[in-house]
Structure 1
Amino acid sequence: MKARDGILSIDIGGTKIKATVLNQAGEQISVYQKIKTPKLSSPEQVVKAILTLIKDFPAYDRVSVGFPGYVKNGIVRSAPNLAPNLWIEVPFAQQLSDRLGKPVRLLNDADMQALGIVQGQGFEIVITLGTGFGTALLMNGHLLPHMELAHLPIKTGKTYDEYLGKVALKKVGTKHWNNRLKKVLTILETVFQYDRLYIGGGNAKKINFKLADNIKSATNEDGIKGGAKLWQLDDHYGIISSHD
């Protein structure tokens, strides 16, 4: 792939859509901006919100999108934290590419954030604490197959999403939510024996306890830089549309 400048990097969240334009090194060349995620988060409404958000952005040649759901080959299989019944088998990478006239790569949001956060050495995990509970697994900087750990049960009748997501935080309060997070971190350490774990997402700022030495906090700005790394990966990540 020949060198190009200007990668529009978009992070779609349950409450906000964030975007910036990056250079090849992942450095921002436009201001990091946000817009509210539409209440009716259909594919068309999300595209309209993106177009509104980026209308004054500088020129770009390619697009990277982090999406809060299960994504395979540019196709959204599910998006329970957006609109559960409106995102089944949606070719969103191609839809967005058709509207922007640029090639688009689409990846799970935690996976894309992980590309911009990790050190690239050993077994690393990224979790995101936002509307739901996102996870990404990497070995020596390479993404491992995505698993929607958020939908595994952690206790009877409750998934990780329901245990640590935005609704749970509001319902049980910060103190109890932090106790839940401690429990989850212990489970992840026992199950995965990771070298490093990173915590991102908007609710990471609610953490009120000291993290272990091999657990680090990460910002949304760090994560969105993964949009540049996404275009350094093999073609099977996301989709390279006919506009490429």
Structure 2
Amino acid sequence: MSSPAMQVPVGVDFGGSGIKAAAVDLDTGDFASARERIPTPQPATPGAVLEVLVDLMTRLPEATGPVGITVPGVVRHGVVGSAANIDDSWVGTDADGLFTEALRREVHIVNDADAAGLAEARYGAARGRQGLVIVTTLGTGIGSALIHDGVLIPNSELGHLEIDGHDAESRAANSAREREGLTMAQWAERLGRYYRTIERLFSPDLIVVGGGVSKQAAEFLPLLDLETEIVPATLLNRAGIVGAAYYACR
């Protein structure tokens, strides 16, 4: 049975090109409405994003529960602590407080990779798995989420590990594969080096690979020589929205 209408939360995925939102059914981990999308304003300051959020909420009148919003940066107790891929004005912003007051409803901000990790742990490839699960998102950079016995350890930022003198994501992210025209086999060599470093440092029980390129997992995951079980994510482009809504209601 789905949650009552008054309790249906909203998940918002704040990306570089678009801000996407949907009501979420937390029983099934799926959308409870059509997904809405508005282009990300430029510059994407907190005030400009707030205007988009107000518009998005009017498009989802059936969902009046808490709102979860992903942010591509470190988030501590609702305050944004880094802004590598968003406007610098986010740094130091109490986004939870700002958006809660403006929208007059409970709002919680979460790192985008952490949201995806929560979604995979609750509804996807890591559902029911105990021990340490590391979810990575391969895209412009490498996002990461650490989940231990179902509990999120936030802001891991494992894409910024230094490996062979380089920021890991500068060589192993999907953007590096596209930028340098690497074959899947060539890229898999770099990914293998990255994931073996993760193994040595954390001894995880499971690694989940997300991001858009995970749809092609059959082309590169079998090429990785790892001791740890590694599987593709299952929620794909729903993970951010679903994970954000779940986070807002925890």
Give the distance between the partners of 1:81 and 1:64, measured in 2 at CA.
Answer: 19
* Corresponding residue number in structure 1 for 2:179: 171
More displaced 10-residue stretch of structure 1: 181-190 or 110-119: 181-190
Distance 1:37 1:155, change over 3 A: farther
More helix by share: 2
Q: Cα RMSD (Å) of the superposition?
A: 2.5
Q: Superposed, which structure 2 residues align to 1:25-174 within 5 Å?
A: 25=27, 26-59=29-62, 60-83=64-87, 85-118=88-121, 119-120=127-128, 121-156=130-165, 158-165=166-173, 167-174=175-182
Using the aligned pairs only, state the percent identity.
32
Which AA in structure 1 matches 2:65? D
More displaced 10-residue stretch of structure 1: 90-99 or 72-81: 90-99
TM-score (normalizing by structure 1): 0.81
Post-superposition offset of 1:206: 5.1
SS in structure 2 opposite 1:225?
helix
* Corresponding residue number in structure 1 for 2:237: 220
Post-superposition offset of 1:45: 2.4
Give the distance between the partners of 1:69 and 1:58, measured in 2 at CA.
Answer: 29
Post-superposition offset of 1:140: 0.8
Which AA in structure 1 matches 2:34? V
Give the distance between the partners of 1:75 and 1:142, measured in 2 at CA.
Answer: 20
Give the distance between the partners of 2:144 and 2:191, measured in 1 at CA.
Answer: 14
TM-score (normalizing by structure 2): 0.80
Runs of at least 5 residues in structure 1 that lack an aligned partner in the other structure: 234-244
Post-superposition offset of 1:6: 1.4
Match of 2:9 among 7, 10, 20: 7
What number of residue pairs does the alignment pair up? Answer: 229
Which AA in structure 1 matches 2:200? T
* Corresponding residue number in structure 1 for 2:124: none
Runs of at least 5 residues in structure 2 that lack an aligned partner in the other structure: 122-126
